[in-house]
A and B are shown apart, each in its own frame.
Chain A
Amino acid sequence: MSQSGDRSGDKPGAAKWYELFSRGARDWLRHDEKVREAVRANLPEVIAGAEVISDGARTVRVPVRMLEHYHFRLRRAEESQGAGQGKAKPGDVFSDPTRAQGPGEKGAGGRDEGEIQLLLEFKVDDIVDWLWEEMQLPNLKARIGPSEETDWVREGWDRRGARSRLDRRRSFKELVKRRGAPGATPNFTDEDLRFRQLARRRQPAVHAVVFFMLDVSGSMSDRDRKLAKTFFFWVVQGLRREYRSLETVFVAHTTEAWEFSEPDFFKVSGSGGTVASTGLLKVREIIDARYNPGRSNIYLFYASDGDNSVSDAADARAALSAITADACFTGYVEVSSGLSRQLATETGKLFAELTAAGCAAGSYALNDFDDVWGAVRHFFTTESHSGDAAAPAEPTPPAGSP
């Protein structure tokens, strides 16, 4: 009877293959990769409902279930039978919520495994890239204002410089040139080296300011506000792709209007009626006070349930056209979770007029979280079309004036 149990007595330090490699971990990683693929495939739906963090955080956390490898299985019975053991008499009744999933059996596969959730973290930048790919959204055309910023650009070569800026190809060319001359040394000399140089140059500003205006009157529910917040968040992400610097301004209004910081903005709740013109005037006031429309790309996104007071119509129209004159784009998103009136509201009409008049404006009725992407897509496609008409500016190369 042979038994070779002394295999574990190998030389110390000689690692077995299973100490160096874990198949379980390999297949676990493959599982996670598949989860990511699945999430990516359904990204708009998955993210739309997720808690998005407004500022600072560059990641979004998405709870996902573990994948199940499916087998043929019987439908879950309303009542199943099992065998148990212990002190129990016929007729005893007890409850065991952990067993509510049905008897789990080992090894045979097809178990109930829905209880464990993974929390996957995605980089917002990645998501936005995927989304733009997925939804084939156009990139926005920035309005390039007069020279505004200065920045370092690469420009020319010099014989001295930091080692990290050594241009090998250039240096080699210099060597070849010099070797052509009679009596030259074949080796590199300090004379041959060329370093890339940087220079500070003024560049056109690619700067945007986005106004988010939110109706916080009594008729706006918490859900409406959350819808607006989710929408605003993704709008900012989309715009960030195009602009090197992006400022956000938050204005809330009821019958009055106030400017808020971002954290406060989404907590504000007001009461009373809706007078949109107050908010619009406030926006205009801020533009005049702080921004030069010639240099900044101005965007306004307004979220409301659309119940503007009828007497305000004329004022609102005037205030709105005062803004659209300078803004790249004005968007109205109607968040009415309760009833879907599809923009047949006072504010809805106002924006419809604008669009009809050929202004860079658009509106969208957002009723559900699943539809946030519809809204984002809508605005970015209309914006880019209206942008074609308004500003046919091709991105010009940086003006390198010495």
Chain B
Amino acid sequence: MSADWQSYVRRMEELAVASGLKFHPVDFEAVPDSFMMEIAVYGLPVRMPHWSFGVRYIYQLIQRHMGHSRLFEVVFPGNPGHAYLAESNGLAENILVTAHVLGHADFARNNLLFKRCQEQVSERIVEHAANHARQIQAAIETHGAQRVEAALDAALALEQHVDIDQSLRRPRYPEYVADAKTVLDDTFRRRFAALEPAAGGSALDVKRRAPVPPHAERDLLWFVANYAPEMESWERDIFLAVREESFYFYPVFATQIMNEGWASYWHARLLREADFVPQQAYLDAIKCHSDVVRPVAAEQQVALSINPYHLGFAMWEKIVASKGLEAARHIMEQDDDFGFVRNHLTRELAEELGLFRYSARSDGQIKVLDHELTALHEALLAPKYNFGAPTVSAVRVRNDGTLELMHDTSVDSRGLDLERSRKVLDYLQKVWRRPLVLTTVNQAGSTLELTAP
């Protein structure tokens, strides 16, 4: 069975290239379901050990036993890309998945966000992650599992708190405040200084040390790795390894609707055009396709979460039909989900798809709200802001090494979940090794300080 689908891979690739897809070569590998599941849990084929992945693993196992989730493929962008296909896939499914993978490969090579992150992380994230895992294994052997786990507890708890607009190998802050002389270097000042050299020189020679951080810093993994007063170098390495993996995960997270939609659009299109696929396999593959992109589970009338495959697929169909493939490719290259949804999820399409906005009370009662397009966009995008995490920044390091963290409540005045935040501070305290203060707001909206220890 597995040999069969491979004979179609090359022809599918040729068809994809002819249709205008531009992608790096992809290594296909069929792996057992159990390994597929692990890839889904870890997000990478080989990744650092941590007990929190064990928790996800249990949930994934339970889900699989209940028949809720089935994984056909996982793709890792890169040059070459890696695609893992489930061994249990049938021939038709694998043909479909091959086309789907090529869609992803095209997306990952051409989307600007992906490109930028891959320039940072390099095109070999799979190998890098395996390297991190090996480093961490070595650290466990030298420093003991407990100390490494403490560092990982803290680093992985902050995995969303990176600033992907900064470089992966971001330099430390300049040590001194920028010299006022160089900024204000105009003819008048030069002449003025020339008139009375002693007076001008002595005042400007005093260098002022810059505060750390010079501005609110939300790149917490980087900040801790660089400025923690008493961190071991191997702990810094762990923080930077987690940060690198976050740089890889961010575009996957921030373009999910576009990316899955794009791949679904292309697997459907390539399949339609692939005259070399036997009739029966084609029918089966189309059935499989409609399962993947269906909006609502078969036995239900209403879904309370949007299937990104479905939404993205429907949007790309619309865009290609109305604006042409060339324009669609431009959009694919330049947008992420925020721009994509806001610019291209139109009122007509939202109505056609039956999208709605609802409010859910904590007791489980759900009320459908009016069809307001902008609000619908925001309801769709809200869980995606800032890598799905509240904005917490480092604002000051006191003289005694106390780190002040600040939750930015201007975006969401709800305040942090106190119990969880306290636990995160506990994790972080074990590597920062000095007191921590976190400012947020309580239920009533007044300022609240959490401290550790």
| B6 cross-chain contacts in A, Cβ below 8 A | 5-6
A95, CB-defined interface residue at 8 Å: yes
B residues 152-184 with Cβ under 8 Å of A? 153, 156-161
Complex-state Cα separation, A26 to B136, whole angstroms = 15
Identify 12 residue pairs between A and B in the complex whose beta-carbon atoms are under 8 Å apart, listed by A's number: A5-B27, A26-B54, A27-B49, A31-B51, A82-B379, A84-B304, A84-B358, A86-B300, A87-B302, A94-B302, A96-B360, A109-B160
Give the contact stretch, choosing among A16-24, A42-50, A190-198, A322-330: A16-24
Name the residue among A25, A71, A81 with the largest chain B CB count within 10 angstroms: A71
Complex-state Cα separation, A92 to B2, whole angstroms = 49
B residues 23-38 with Cβ under 8 Å of A? 25-32, 34-35, 37-38
A83, CB-defined interface residue at 8 Å: yes
Q: Decide: B360 and A80 in contact? CB cutoff 8 A.
A: yes
| A67 cross-chain contacts in B, Cβ below 8 A | 51, 55
Q: Decide: B420 and A73 in contact? CB cutoff 8 A.
A: yes
A75, CB-defined interface residue at 8 Å: yes
Q: Decide: A99 and B304 in contact? CB cutoff 8 A.
A: yes
A105, CB-defined interface residue at 8 Å: yes
A397, CB-defined interface residue at 8 Å: no
Q: Decide: A88 and B54 in contact? CB cutoff 8 A.
A: no
Q: Decide: A24 and B54 in contact? CB cutoff 8 A.
A: yes
Q: Decide: B9 and A94 in contact? CB cutoff 8 A.
A: no
B residues 357-378 with Cβ under 8 Å of A? 357-371, 375-376
Q: Decide: A8 and B30 in contact? CB cutoff 8 A.
A: yes
B126, CB-defined interface residue at 8 Å: no
Q: Decide: B412 and A74 in contact? CB cutoff 8 A.
A: yes
13 additional contacts (CB under 8 A) given A79-B359, A105-B388:
A5-B27, A8-B87, A23-B53, A27-B49, A72-B421, A80-B360, A81-B358, A81-B382, A86-B354, A88-B301, A103-B304, A105-B383, A109-B159
Bits for A174-192, please: 1 = Cβ < 8 Å to B, else 0.
0000000000000000000
Complex-state Cα separation, A97 to B364, whole angstroms = 5
Min CB distance A19 to B, Å, is: 7
Bits for A30-63, please: 1 = Cβ < 8 Å to B, else 0.
1110100000000000000000000000000000
Min CB distance A210 to B, Å, is: 41
Which residue of A72, A100, A102 contacts B389 across the interface (Cβ within 8 Å)? A72
Q: Decide: A90 and B369 in contact? CB cutoff 8 A.
A: yes
Complex-state Cα separation, A29 to B58, whole angstroms = 10
| A79 cross-chain contacts in B, Cβ below 8 A | 359-362
Which residue from chain A places its CB closest to the CB of B50 in the assembled complex?
Answer: A27
Given that A18-B35, A70-B420, A79-B361 are contacting pairs, would A96 and B366 also be in contact in the complex, using a CB cutoff of 8 Å?
yes
Which residue of B38, B62, B354, B369 contacts A18 across the interface (Cβ within 8 Å)? B38
Q: Decide: B302 and A84 in contact? CB cutoff 8 A.
A: yes
Complex-state Cα separation, A86 to B156, whole angstroms = 37
| B356 cross-chain contacts in A, Cβ below 8 A | 83-86, 88, 90
The 7 closest A-B pairs by CB, nearest first: A86-B302, A27-B54, A69-B52, A100-B364, A24-B57, A31-B54, A28-B54
A1, CB-defined interface residue at 8 Å: yes
| A78 cross-chain contacts in B, Cβ below 8 A | 361-362
Q: Decide: A100 and B363 in contact? CB cutoff 8 A.
A: yes
Complex-state Cα separation, A185 to B253, whole angstroms = 81
Which residue from chain B places its CB closest to the CB of A90 in the assembled complex?
Answer: B370
Bits for B376-397, please: 1 = Cβ < 8 Å to A, else 0.
1001101100011110100000
Min CB distance B304 to A, Å, is: 5
Which residue from chain A places its CB closest to the CB of B443 in the assembled complex?
Answer: A75
| B305 cross-chain contacts in A, Cβ below 8 A | 82-84, 103
| A27 cross-chain contacts in B, Cβ below 8 A | 49-54, 57
Given that A78-B362, A94-B366 are contacting pairs, would A73 and B58 also be in contact in the complex, using a CB cutoff of 8 Å?
no
| A357 cross-chain contacts in B, Cβ below 8 A | none
Min CB distance A178 to B, Å, is: 50
Bits for A229-273, please: 1 = Cβ < 8 Å to B, else 0.
000000000000000000000000000000000000000000000
Bits for A1-17, please: 1 = Cβ < 8 Å to B, else 0.
11111111100000010
| B335 cross-chain contacts in A, Cβ below 8 A | none
Q: Decide: A3 and B27 in contact? CB cutoff 8 A.
A: yes
A93, CB-defined interface residue at 8 Å: yes
Which residue from chain A places its CB closest to the CB of B36 in the assembled complex?
Answer: A18
Given that A79-B361, A84-B304 are contacting pairs, would A28 and B28 also be in contact in the complex, using a CB cutoff of 8 Å?
no
| B304 cross-chain contacts in A, Cβ below 8 A | 82, 84, 96, 99, 103
Q: Decide: B55 and A113 in contact? CB cutoff 8 A.
A: yes
Given that A88-B302, A99-B304, A108-B387 are contacting pairs, would A30 and B51 also be in contact in the complex, using a CB cutoff of 8 Å?
yes
Which residue of B28, B57, B379, B392 contacts A5 across the interface (Cβ within 8 Å)? B28
Min CB distance A75 to B, Å, is: 5
A107, CB-defined interface residue at 8 Å: yes
Bits for B2-32, please: 1 = Cβ < 8 Å to A, else 0.
1100100110010001000000011111111
A68, CB-defined interface residue at 8 Å: yes
| B13 cross-chain contacts in A, Cβ below 8 A | 1, 3
Complex-state Cα separation, A29 to B55, whole angstroms = 10
Min CB distance B221 to A, Å, is: 13
Q: Decide: B366 and A95 in contact? CB cutoff 8 A.
A: yes
Which residue of A2, A8, A19, A26 contacts B2 across the interface (Cβ within 8 Å)? A8
Min CB distance A389 to B, Å, is: 44
B325, CB-defined interface residue at 8 Å: no
Min CB distance A148 to B, Å, is: 49
Which residue from chain A places its CB closest to the CB of B80 in the assembled complex?
Answer: A2
A356, CB-defined interface residue at 8 Å: no
Given that A75-B417, A84-B305 are contacting pairs, would A108 and B358 also be in contact in the complex, using a CB cutoff of 8 Å?
no
Which residue of B53, B54, B365 contacts A93 across the interface (Cβ within 8 Å)? B365
B41, CB-defined interface residue at 8 Å: yes
Q: Decide: A71 and B389 in contact? CB cutoff 8 A.
A: yes
Q: Decide: A108 and B160 in contact? CB cutoff 8 A.
A: yes
Q: Decide: B302 and A85 in contact? CB cutoff 8 A.
A: yes
Q: Decide: B414 and A75 in contact? CB cutoff 8 A.
A: yes
B427, CB-defined interface residue at 8 Å: yes
B42, CB-defined interface residue at 8 Å: yes
A110, CB-defined interface residue at 8 Å: yes
Q: Decide: A77 and B54 in contact? CB cutoff 8 A.
A: no
Min CB distance A119 to B, Å, is: 13
Name the residue among A9, A23, A76 with the largest chain B CB count within 10 angstroms: A23
Given that A2-B80, A4-B27, A96-B304 are contacting pairs, would A72 and B420 also be in contact in the complex, using a CB cutoff of 8 Å?
yes
Which residue from chain A places its CB closest to the CB of B380 in the assembled complex?
Answer: A83
| A86 cross-chain contacts in B, Cβ below 8 A | 295-296, 300-303, 354, 356
